[in-house]
A and B are shown apart, each in its own frame.
Chain A
Amino acid sequence: MTLTYEDVLGRYEPVFGLETHVELGTESKMFCGCSTRFGAEPNTQTCPVCLGLPGAMPAVNARAVEDTIKIGLALNCSIAPWCRFARKNYFYPDMPKNFQTSQYDEPLCVDGYLDVDVDGQNYRVGIERVHMEEDTGKNTHVGGATGRIHGAEYSLVDYNRAGIPLIEIVTRPVPGTGARAPEVARAYVTALRDILRTLGVSDVRMEQGSLRCDVNTSLSPVGSGAWGTRTETKNVNSLRSVERAVRSEMLRQAELLDAGERVRQETRHFSEVSGDTRPGRSKEEATDYRYFPEPDLVPVAPDPAWVEQIRAALPELPAARRARLRESLGVSAEDMVQMSNAGVVDLVGETVEAGAPVDEARNWWLGYLTQKANEREVDAADLGVAPGDVARLVALVADGTLSVALARQAVDAVLETGHDVDAVVAERGLRKVSDTSALERAADEAIAADPDAADKVRGGKAAAVGALVGAVMKATRGQADAAAVKQILLDKLGGGV
């Protein structure tokens, strides 16, 4: 029996929560001066502190504390006047110290919220805590069929990443979103990523792992009032996967519950390929971390004046910027929802700032560029076409240099080469053929090559002109204005109305 999503919602109420890890964009690691540069040769960015060698003493990166306070303030949190680091003890070779320096019962930021919008409806996601910790090393599992930890013969470890400042942002459980649970979860991560990017604290690249999500999902029978057992899904590495992970867990758990079985509290892994979750490490085994206050580090006690200084210096946050954009762009609420769902609000705004009319900017981003983003399964913002490129295209169409079709070819070329619009227009010789004599010549050739079609048009079947237009467009490599070609052909054949 396979349940539909509607079946699930008829009987169960989903509750989700998210733990998001963000690598900060600091120059140096959390507790030592090793570089945080991504992509360095293995094990070239380590030292006695991040390798946990005896006698090494950690020291807290001031910028990391400041960045964490920024994040907390942007998420409407209170900043703790005093807090400590703790050791989270576990044996797993991704941490050479055999513990991770983290925060436990005294996080730096607590009790905030983030408002997210789905289809014009606001959902408030409670933020339980924002705490500081350090990233772990990177394991490569060797042997076995899948490259995964299960079935591997042994593993190889690169400790360059161990000790990079990592911020964990934990939501409260989010009930009451019903069918929209997967979308609200995705919208939350999207909004969080936008805030982090605006704050300039991280490059938030999910594909490189600088933003990672664990998604908790549970179901409770409708009307029961009691929450069900939750699972924690790890390895959710794109916005789309956040949505898919919640949805697939809802379906999986509903099938179990329908069959009278229990949902096991466990860690599961999301598979990008299959779109569902698989069991991971058993939760029961993993919880005994024996946290205790880190004796090598003194408490962090942010001066309230410093916190207020940071608050005053926060940049305009995305929600405020959007409200302002909506005002200044003069778009309707429906358009705003559509642009927001497509993740193009800021892109449209920037395209307008770069000189394009609002309608043109919106049409490009909601139309061809969203289509291209979907084809490539990336967000529009990560497509590789800059708002300045779009404004330039709009200008080239407006002054008659390019047709819309040619402008689309230019987008394709930008995506292929990474060059800007002017460069690809020059490289590919993209230019609307407006030389009438050249078009006339091409039209004569097309008529000569396809006398049947020409006769039909002469006989009054105007629709038959399409084949001839196509031939001329082909002959001019798509660079002619199709409407002008059609007119020339109709004039020549006398079949026009």
Chain B
Amino acid sequence: MPDPIVPPRISRAEVAHLAHLARLAVTDDELDLFARQLDIILTSVARVADVAAADIPPTSHAVAMTNVFRPDRTRPSLPREAVLAGAPAVEDDKFRVPRILSDEA
């Protein structure tokens, strides 16, 4: 099948970079696997370009709407116990998270 737009072939290095950005620990075997799988996904999605003629504008939303606003009114928030119930660690009613930066500076 002719393919007018060559889909971006995702490299192993790009997958490694994305994994790093997503803070995912990925093994060498997984890098190969994910690169292959992501390539298939990207190729499939790129086929949209086959049917997107010049008269079809790109969209980022499934419904052609604009200006869906809500009035500036407050609504009750969640109780704090419920909010913190899902936290792995809590201290002083706050989410406790591990060290953010390694000691580099």
What's the least CB distance linking A58 to chain B, in Å? Answer: 9
**Residues on A with beta carbons closer than 8 Å to the beta carbon of B67:** 298-302
Check B73 against A28 for contact (C-beta < 8 Å). yes
- Determine the interface band of chain A, counting residues with CB < 8 A from chain B: 35 or more
Residues 51-91 (chain A) with a chain B CB within 8 angstroms: 51, 59-65, 82, 84, 89, 91
A147 at the interface (CB under 8 A from B): no
Q: How far is the CA of A439 from the CA of B70 in the complex (A)?
A: 70
Interface membership of chain A positions 141-164, coded 1 if the CB is closer than 8 angstroms to chain B and 0 otherwise: 110000001111111111100000
Q: How far is the CA of A42 from the CA of B80 in the complex (A)?
A: 8
What's the least CB distance linking A266 to chain B, in Å? Answer: 10
Q: Is the interface of A mostly helix, strand, loop or mixed?
A: loop
| Count of A-B residue pairs with CB < 8 Å | 138
Q: How far is the CA of A433 from the CA of B13 in the complex (A)?
A: 86
A363 at the interface (CB under 8 A from B): no
Residues 61-93 (chain B) with a chain A CB within 8 angstroms: 61, 63, 65-78, 80, 83-84, 91-93
Interface membership of chain B positions 1-32, coded 1 if the CB is closer than 8 angstroms to chain A and 0 otherwise: 00000000000000001000111000000000
B105 at the interface (CB under 8 A from A): yes
Knowing A91-B22, A290-B21, say if A301 contacts B97 (CB, 8 Å).
no
What's the least CB distance linking B54 to chain A, in Å? Answer: 19
Check A156 against B95 for contact (C-beta < 8 Å). yes
Q: How many residues of B contact A (CB 8 A)?
A: 37
Partner of B70, one of A41, A62, A290: A62
**Residues on A with beta carbons closer than 8 Å to the beta carbon of B17:** 288
B53 at the interface (CB under 8 A from A): no
A38 at the interface (CB under 8 A from B): no
**Residues on A with beta carbons closer than 8 Å to the beta carbon of B55:** none
Check B74 against A61 for contact (C-beta < 8 Å). no
Check B78 against A62 for contact (C-beta < 8 Å). no
Q: How far is the CA of A292 from the CA of B23 in the complex (A)?
A: 19
Chain B residues within CB distance 8 Å of chain A: 17, 21-23, 60-61, 63, 65-78, 80, 83-84, 91-101, 103, 105
Chain A residues within CB distance 8 Å of chain B: 26-28, 32-35, 41-48, 51, 59-65, 82, 84, 89, 91-93, 96, 139-142, 149-159, 278-281, 288, 290, 292-295, 297-302
**Could you write out 13 A-B pairs with CB less than 8 Å apart?**
A34-B77, A35-B74, A43-B94, A46-B83, A59-B70, A62-B70, A84-B60, A154-B96, A158-B95, A280-B105, A297-B68, A298-B61, A298-B66
